[in-house]
Structure 1
Amino acid sequence: MTEYLIYFNQQWVGDHDEEWFRGRAPLAKAVVDEMRSAGVYVFAGGLVEDVDEAVTADATSGTVLFTDGPFAESKEHLGGLAVVEVPDLDAAKVWAGKLAVACGWPQEVREFGSHPDAG
Structure 2
Amino acid sequence: MAEYLIYFNQQWVGDHTEEWFRSRGPLAMAVVNEIKAAGEYLFAGGLEEEGPVFSADATSGELMFTDGPYVETKEWLGGLTVVDVADEERARMWAGKIAEACGWPQEVRLFGSMPEIETSED
TM-score by length of 1: 0.92
Q: What is the rounded CA distance, in whole Å, between the counterparts of 2:56 and 2:70 in structure 1? A: 8
C-alpha displacement of 1:118: 7.5
The C-alpha deviation readout for 1:67-104, integer Å capped at 9, x for no partner, is 10124621111100000000111110000000001000
The C-alpha deviation readout for 1:5-48, integer Å capped at 9, x for no partner, is 00001011010010000000000000000010000000000001
More helix by share: 1
Identity in percent:
66
Q: What is the rounded CA distance, in whole Å, between the counterparts of 2:43 and 2:90 in structure 1? A: 16
1:66–1:116 CA distance, 2 compared to 1 (3 A):
farther
TM-score by length of 2: 0.90
Residues 98-117 of structure 1 correspond to what in structure 2 (within 5 A)?
A: 98-115=97-114
Corresponding residue number in structure 2 for 1:60: 59
Which amino acid in the other structure matches residue 55 of structure 1? F
Residues 1-119 of structure 1 correspond to what in structure 2 (within 5 A)?
A: 1-50=1-50, 53-71=52-70, 73-115=72-114
The gaps in structure 2 that reach 5 residues or longer are: none
**Which one has the largest radius of gyration?**
2
Aligned to 2:32, the other structure's residue is in SS state helix
